[in-house]
Structure 1
Amino acid sequence: MVIYLGIYDMSQRMGRINNYQHFDKGFFGLMDQLVESTKPESFILLEVSYEAILDSGVNPQSLRGSNTGVYIGLTTYPHSDGYSPDVQPDVSGSIHNVIFKTVYNMKNLYASRISFANDFKGPSLVVDTACSSSLSALTLACNDILLGKADAAIVCGTHMLFEPLISQYLYEFGVCSPRGVSAVFDESADGFVRSEAVVAVFLQRRQDSHRMYAQIVSSRMNVDGRKTVGMLYPSADSQEQLMRETYTLSNIDPKRLTYFEAHATGTKVGDPQEVKAIYNAYCATRTTPLPLGAVKSNIGHSEGSSGLAAVNNFGIGGTNAHVLLEPNYKVETSNSFLIAENIPRIVNICGRTEEAVKYVMDFIQNNPKRVTNDFLALLAPVMRFVPCINSGGMPYRVN
């Protein structure tokens, strides 16, 4: 049997990750053979999780040995990785190399590798609920922190396209746009556009946080169960029920919602079902419009990591996830620049390269209106470096 597959445009409005082959393995204490045998997204996860901790104003070294959990959301496809066709039993090292490559590309190690490199002692797991994976992971992380099973958490979503045949299958199946256009909420919508994203957020209890972008008010998930229209068909009823439970059990008035970032893939089935759920759950008693947005219209659908790029999520198997966020309302005052403007300060900067140190120093020099008291307060603990046998270290320093 010969199967002919059409060729479709995959390039328009697609989020891509470039220069993924660059990785400072020495910084994370990983050996050459491991790096050469493992997919790049595993190492990008190491980088973005480390960056998320730094961005929170916490020095990652201070978390070593702590009860910090790691929760990774991703989508897997059967046999998409495959096995090496070059196993030669009579060639020394051939089988060993193939086994090494196969084992170190196991998806569960995506979480374990972050825990290993940072010496985290909390839960470490991978979650796959299809497109709702990363928000499902976020919900599990929130629950573990609330129950005291973790003191903090790294939550990640990852999706990179190394198997073009999977994309081709999805186009043939009719779920991807043959035009390569993610026409979210549009009458011309004809499917989603696959995209790449590796995302990480660092969760802490409010009293422990140094820098807060938003507070997770409530995070829940459910599943559609049995549906007469089939397992793969989205359910507006289940999504509506989840939304109502999310705000009702947290005593949140749905009219307080000022913006809804939708899952919205750009499919003729999924978008109407989601909008129906949103309308019934949030707009029945509203007297003002509720703005809807969808980042997929700009970057495409990053599948398992889409929840951390959006907020509402539902997976093809029926697992739905919903999160309510409250922004940090802290507003800059006239005193925000008091120390930075009037009192000379010694700012200690350290980095892995001269370029990295120069970048930070140039930022401080060229952005005086962004060097606030809070900025300096965050910079000081992050740059407080203690040599550690498990770290490549920060050899370049400047004041």
Structure 2
Amino acid sequence: PKFGRFRVFSSPNPISQLTLRNLGPYARTTLSTARVQAEYEPRASLNPNDVRNSRMGVFMGTQFSDSETTWIYIQDVENGFSILGHNRGMLANRVSYWFNSYGPSYSFHSGDTCGIEGLSIAYDAIEKGYCETALVGTAAFAMHPEMSFHYKGLGILSDDGYNRSFDDDANGFVRSEALVVFFLQKAKNAKRIYASIVHSHAECYGDRKAGYIVPLEYPMTNILSNFYQQCGIDPSTVSYLEADGSGIKARDAAELNAISNVLLRDKQLPLLIGSIKSNLGHTSASAALVSVVKVLISMEAGKIPPNYSFNKPSQKIPALVKGKLKVVTEAEPWPGGLAAVNSVGLTGVFGHILLRSHSKEKVNSGLPEDDLPRLLVISGRTEEGLNDTLDKLESHPVDVECVRLLHDLYSSDIINFSYRGYTLIGSHDTYRDIKGLTPNLVSEYIATCAEFSSLIIFGTARCAVCPLPLPLLAVRGLLCAASSRRGASVQPLHNDLLCRAPSLVREPLTSTPVKTGADTLSPTALDGSTR
């Protein structure tokens, strides 16, 4: 969202407009991203009701805030709300208040390893029963050039704007920014799984024999050895490593030499490595979670994206020169199995996380085994947003898993999603309509629901009064209220779909676990409930 304007949507606990006008960019974007991730996530089939009033933990990490001096010390304000709006200690609490969740709510201030620290705390909290689910997020923005001046003074900022991770000509990193939010839950409750966390750990090494910004190899070697001993995993089974790869030559050498000491000890084949910093730059507090995002995308896409600006291996890394570590410079097929993400903080904090690929593949690549169209009835906050969603759904091939997840997502109301629409995907003809729920229409809708609460028809039909095709699905009130109450006739368009619709309303899952809820409905045994 734009920093000048910000609106609150779908919140049971609204935030005052005075507070909103004084929210800093960290709070604004964190609230917006957290809402999209946990309250409205079609790919995970999460409905707002799944997380509201629940034991959801919130863990938000930051490092520097470029906006605090601008809004608190420079800007001429008439009230003290800027102190509240730019207090990074309230980031997690604002998100918890937004969702009315009563799990643990932590805001923490750390360095480049923020993401792994947050994932480790959240993983531990879920494992010990402190919360049922968790939101883990990090935020980092580059708003003022003064920070670049300070990094340049430390000699760790790139001179030419290239982030040459692992390269012999590496001369520092390029500043970048990112805000990342993850939703964590137990695998048995997940409707879709991207990856599983095997183990996660972050540690600040205090026994240093050099200054804070000088990278050291021996503490990283100790931490990695202890990490794999604790989780009981043979480090040689790791198939891909997303390294920190900051582009600082000495730091990259210390990191990969420690990796070689542990992960290559009994490994026969070269270990594939990469660093997202070569593509995007260094995102400071969000760097670790951005690396995790790259690994998850690689798992989903089945390919590892290549590193940029890698021409000659650093001579300070023997395993890289000998080919035992292989930097991915061309798109490589995803090897599957275990993937590790390493993070090295500027001040002696080290983090490591081990992820396992979700190996279950889609049956028939998600394509249906018949040629029947699928009906999707969805809602949205604005007509434009709903049209965009329908456009995307219509532009892709039919995916029965996606249809099933969307059916679950819209099985109950979403606050302030006052636009309703439907589309037929997989049909030669286009059938689409969007209606906004005005107060008059809502009253008529409620009256119609009361009158036709037990009437549910499956399929697609054309109303004799209005010229638009009508979706007839197991959702009360989606019949044209005015036409139904006038006793208008309904003419079926797809008789085969009408006959076979009960088996299509709830598509069977093909690749990932989804909570089934009630049994599949039939046209002769209906309870009038929303499906």
TM-score, length basis structure 2: 0.65
Structure 2 equivalent of residue 25 of structure 1 = 8
- For residue 353 of structure 1, the aligned residue among 351, 358, 382 is 382
Query: How far apart are 1:21 and its partner, in Å?
Result: 5.2
Structure 2 equivalent of residue 62 of structure 1 = 50
Structure 1 equivalent of residue 419 of structure 2 = 396
**What are the within-5 Å matches in structure 2 for residues 220-369 of structure 1?**
220-310=201-291, 311-334=341-364, 336-338=366-368, 341-368=370-397
What is the distance in 2 between the residues matched to 1:86 and 1:159? Answer: 21
Query: How far apart are 1:164 and its partner, in Å?
Result: 2.2
Query: How far apart are 1:126 and its partner, in Å?
Result: 1.5
Query: How far apart are 1:263 and its partner, in Å?
Result: 0.8
- Please, which runs of 5 or more residues in structure 2 have no aligned partner? 292-340, 423-531
What is the distance in 1 between the residues matched to 2:49 and 2:5? Answer: 23
User: Contact 1:129 / 1:317 at 8 angstroms: preserved in 2?
Assistant: no
Closer/same/farther in 2, CA of residues 22 and 242 from structure 1, 3 Å limit = farther
Amino acid at match of 2:351: A
Structure 1 equivalent of residue 21 of structure 2 = 36
Helix, strand or coil at the partner of 2:376: coil
User: Contact 1:213 / 1:328 at 8 angstroms: preserved in 2?
Assistant: yes
Helix, strand or coil at the partner of 1:84: helix
**What are the within-5 Å matches in structure 2 for residues 102-113 of structure 1?**
102-113=83-94
**What are the within-5 Å matches in structure 2 for residues 75-114 of structure 1?**
75-76=63-64, 81=69, 83-85=72-74, 94=78, 97=79, 99-114=80-95
Query: How far apart are 1:151 and its partner, in Å?
Result: 0.7
Amino acid at match of 1:350: S
What is the distance in 2 between the residues matched to 1:334 and 1:272? Answer: 45
What is the distance in 2 between the residues matched to 1:186 and 1:148? Answer: 44
Query: How far apart are 1:20 and its partner, in Å?
Result: 5.7
Tell me the number of residue pairs that the alignment of Structure 1 and Structure 2 aligns: 367
User: Contact 2:6 / 2:21 at 8 angstroms: preserved in 1?
Assistant: no
Amino acid at match of 2:344: F
Query: How far apart are 1:77 and its partner, in Å?
Result: 6.1
Q: Cα deviation per residue 1:69-127 (whole Å; 9 max; x = unaligned)?
A: 1111211269963633466xxxxx83xx1x21112210011111111111111111122
Structure 2 equivalent of residue 165 of structure 1 = 146
Stretch deviating more after TM superposition (23-32 or 354-363):
23-32
Helix, strand or coil at the partner of 2:150: helix
- Provide the alpha-carbon RMSD of the alignment: 2.2
Closer/same/farther in 2, CA of residues 312 and 81 from structure 1, 3 Å limit = farther
What is the distance in 2 between the residues matched to 1:335 and 1:284? Answer: 38
Closer/same/farther in 2, CA of residues 243 and 352 from structure 1, 3 Å limit = same
Higher relative contact order (CA 8 A, sep 6+): 1
User: Contact 2:25 / 2:67 at 8 angstroms: preserved in 1?
Assistant: no
What is the distance in 2 between the residues matched to 1:21 and 1:277? Answer: 46
Amino acid at match of 2:50: S
What is the distance in 2 between the residues matched to 1:273 and 1:242? Answer: 13
Closer/same/farther in 2, CA of residues 183 and 33 from structure 1, 3 Å limit = same
- For residue 378 of structure 1, the aligned residue among 405, 425, 428 is 405
Helix, strand or coil at the partner of 2:73: coil
What is the distance in 1 between the residues matched to 2:375 and 2:66? Answer: 55
User: Contact 1:244 / 1:281 at 8 angstroms: preserved in 2?
Assistant: yes
What is the distance in 1 between the residues matched to 2:394 and 2:68? Answer: 48
Structure 1 equivalent of residue 99 of structure 2 = 118
Q: Percent identity?
A: 27
What is the distance in 2 between the residues matched to 1:239 and 1:348? Answer: 52
TM-score, length basis structure 1: 0.86
What is the distance in 1 between the residues matched to 2:151 and 2:3? Answer: 24
Q: Cα deviation per residue 1:152-196 (whole Å; 9 max; x = unaligned)?
A: 100111101223212211112212112222111111111111110
Stretch deviating more after TM superposition (47-56 or 61-70):
47-56
Structure 2 equivalent of residue 184 of structure 1 = 165
User: Contact 1:234 / 1:270 at 8 angstroms: preserved in 2?
Assistant: yes
Work out which of the two has the higher radius of gyration on C-alpha atoms and give 1 or 2: 2
User: Contact 1:21 / 1:40 at 8 angstroms: preserved in 2?
Assistant: no
User: Contact 2:113 / 2:202 at 8 angstroms: preserved in 1?
Assistant: no
What is the distance in 2 between the residues matched to 1:283 and 1:20? Answer: 47
Stretch deviating more after TM superposition (62-71 or 236-245):
236-245
Amino acid at match of 2:203: N
- Please, which runs of 5 or more residues in structure 1 have no aligned partner? 1-17, 88-92
